[in-house]
Amino acid sequence: MSARCPALLIAAPASGQGKTTVTAALARLHSRQGRRVRVFKCGPDFLDPHWHQLASGAPVHSLDGWMTGAADVDARLHAAAQESDLILIEGVMGLFDGTPSAADLAQRLNLPVLAVFDASAMASTLGALAYGLVHYQPGLRWAGVLANRVASTHHAQLLQAGMRDPALWQGALARVTLGDGPSLLPERHLGLVAAHELGDALERLDAAADALSQTPLGQRTMAQWQQWSVDFAAPGAAQGLEGIDSAIGPWLQGRTVAVARDAAFSFIYPANLDCLEAMGARLAFFSPLAGEGLPACDAVWLPGGYPELHAHALMANQPVQADLRAHWAAGKPLWAECGGMVALCEGITDRDGQFAPLWGLLPGRAVLQPRLAGLGMQQLSTDAGVLRGHTFHYSRLESTVPVLTRSSRPGQPPEPGKGEALYQHGSLVASYFHAWFASNPKAVATWLGGSVPA
């Protein structure tokens, strides 16, 4: 049985074209008109979803044919279609980048595709680029083209005149700014600044929504949106990921897992929290930045984030540092992921060579790099099987802690010196690897001290 709902995949020829701004603006435009909007993000991403959640008022989940799996994609979209007026999906990188790509998702699900172009430095050539994108992969369902960062009405007219198919034109969006900033949604080294870090985040979204409301895309009626409806099929009998044991059992029943959650530890997939609760865990959130100590718990998860931006505030919270050390000394499980691992190091050296001390539970130091030190999909072999996920970080770890194993590219075996190291220091397990818990709940439950059958 299928569920029918208007939907749109917002894509682009490359990163940096404005997909996130357009997606969030469209979500905000419709949600403030009282419509129920659900937004999804293709591929692994922690930052863009913060903006989409603020714009839509609903949780934002990731969709990826490899990391999350087709069954998970189908189940989430089918459920969203049953309760929503509109579904928006932001693509990842360029439309045809990656395996599987956003285009592959669109073709499999018959999603209408909107291509967003940064047109700030072009005119009629937009038509040639749009023509190539539209005809590159036969079988895609096209909603149209939106020109972004357009300078003037005359500029928009030049762009529109270059279109081979005038019916694809969805308008021109002027460059939207707020105050003196060069960008509406500011960025830093890992991507966009998260919405919860900006006091005027909603004002920024409203400015983008107001601008979008002047375009043909923003002026579409719901009757016109119905032309872009999609039948989202109920997930089939096949569950989980090929070659992966993704069955969920009550392996964390009766156990409390403390989860750090604030601006320093914000890289959390909502689906990972759902997975922990599905295994029976009670979640206890705490904010080291707010001076909170460690809640009473059986295990700790320190997610990724920006400890390097908050090193002094983290060090100022001596009680939580003592709590974590006592937790570890008692042999209780602690899983630290990327930024969470960095926070547990002796300290971090920034790009200017300045060293900032951190909690010192994990021997070693992190060093920020001028370029990405890790990026892409990864899988991690554990005693409980293979866990899927990804990596994205600018620092590297210098540590003498033993390496249990290393992550590897999808479908590839681990290689010495490549991939992300999985460290173990007593009851502490840590890595730059970001895990998608539902790909192997048993492995996650094992790290968190659950009762997992052999």
Question: Which positions ≥6 away from 120 have C-beta within 8 Å?
Answer: 148, 149, 150, 151, 175
Catalytic residues: 338
Query: Helix, strand, or coil here: 382?
Result: strand
Q: What DSSP element (H or E) covers 145?
A: strand 141-150
Q: How far apart are CA 273 and CA 264, in angstroms?
A: 18
Question: Which positions ≥6 away from 63 have C-beta within 8 Å?
Answer: 40, 41, 42, 43, 72, 73, 76, 77, 89, 105
Six token digits for residue 419: 């991939």
Q: How far apart are CA 106 and CA 98, in angstroms?
A: 13
Pairing of strands 395-398, 362-368: antiparallel
Q: Which of 96, 54, 60 is nearest to 77 (CA)?
A: 60
Q: How far apart are CA 185 and CA 194, in angstroms?
A: 9
Q: How far apart are CA 426 and CA 401, in angstroms?
A: 10
DSSP code at position 68? I
Question: Which positions ≥6 away from 293 have C-beta within 8 Å?
Answer: 286, 319, 320, 323
